[in-house]
Amino acid sequence: QADLKTFHQFEVYGEAVITLLTVQNTVNTERVELAAPDLVFEQIRAVLEDIPPVAIKTGALGSDEVVRAVARALEGFPATLVVDPVMTSKHGRALASEPASKAIREVLLGRAELVTPNIPEAEAFTGIAIHTTEDMRRAALCLRKMGARDVLIKGGHLRGSPTDVLLTGDRWIEFPAERLPTPHTHGTGCAYSAAITAALARGMNLAEAVTSAKQYISEAIRSAPGLGRGHGPVNHHAPWR
């Protein structure tokens, strides 16, 4: 839902494929139910054969069977792929098994135009402890060796400024931001990667897309509506440019 709201704000037409369902609110995540792999495959097939997208992003995939179903469904399809390797919910509930993470490394990273892990996800994939932007660069190079074309490591878990690090081609670009004192960051990673995907679909190059998405998500956090008793959602109505 966060993805679709973000796509709408970026004035692109979003199409959703459900991979798992959660019982959650701003306070906790109580239950996670995975969709059957064949159902995921058939949803993707139905979308691709009728309204083929220009850009695609993945989010929480849950199991290795679902990851492999996604990879099979996208095989040979000429769309930009952004892989957001979501591993846990905002409340720490697992949204991807270890076999799922392994499957992402094996069958999705090599297909991805961009992979967008946060620091804990990048640490889990690479085994590199990340405390600084230099550590982020080492992890990005490691993810590239695993097959990812370009890598954006999100720095929200850093101490100090939440600087993101992008490796694109042979260029390094850092995206610093002000750390905002708010608990209302539910859906930040999903909205950020969705904004990048939407900007790519609109024809921006990767550096432009990340710049636009970073501005959007920073404003979405700053202007969060303050809903719920826990980690409330960001403001998906935030302007972008």
Catalytic pick among 189, 197, 211, 232: 189
Known catalytic membership, residue 155: no
Is the whole-model pTM more than 0.85?
Answer: yes
The Cβ of residue 124 has, within 10 Å, a number of other Cβ atoms equal to: 16
Catalytic pick among 19, 185, 197, 211: 185
Known catalytic membership, residue 90: no
Known catalytic membership, residue 188: yes
Catalytic pick among 57, 90, 154, 214: 154
Catalytic pick among 187, 197, 214, 232: 187
Known catalytic membership, residue 59: no
Domains of the chain by start residue, with CATH: 1-223 (3.40.1190.20)
Dump pLDDT digits (tens) for 53-94: 999 999 999 999 999 999 999 999 999 999 999 887 766 667
Known catalytic membership, residue 19: no
pLDDT reported for residue 223:
95
pLDDT reported for residue 94:
72
Q: Two tokens at 64? A: 């290795």
Indicate the average pLDDT of the chain.
93
* 3-class SS string, the chain: CHHHHHHHHCCCCCCCCCCEEEEECCCCEEEEEECCHHHHHHHHHHHHHHCCCCEEEECCCECHHHHHHHHHHHCCCCCEEEECCCCECCCCCECECHHHHHHHHHHHHHHCCEECCEHHHHHHHHCCCCCCHHHHHHHHHHHHHCCCCEEEEECCCCCCCCCEEEEECCEEEEECCCCCCCCCCECHHHHHHHHHHHHHHCCCCHHHHHHHHHHHHHHHHHCCCCCCCCCCECCCCCCCC
Which backbone phi and psi does 154 adopt, to 5 degrees? -85, 135
Known catalytic membership, residue 57: no
Cβ pair 99, 63 in contact under 8 A: yes
| Angstrom distance (rounded) from CA 60 to CA 107 | 15
pLDDT reported for residue 179:
87
197-211 average pLDDT score:
97
pLDDT reported for residue 183:
92
Confidence category of residue 177, pLDDT binned at 50, 70, 90: confident
Dump pLDDT digits (tens) for 20-36: 999 999 999 899 999 99
Residue 50: which residues within 8 A CB-CB, separation 6 or more?
none
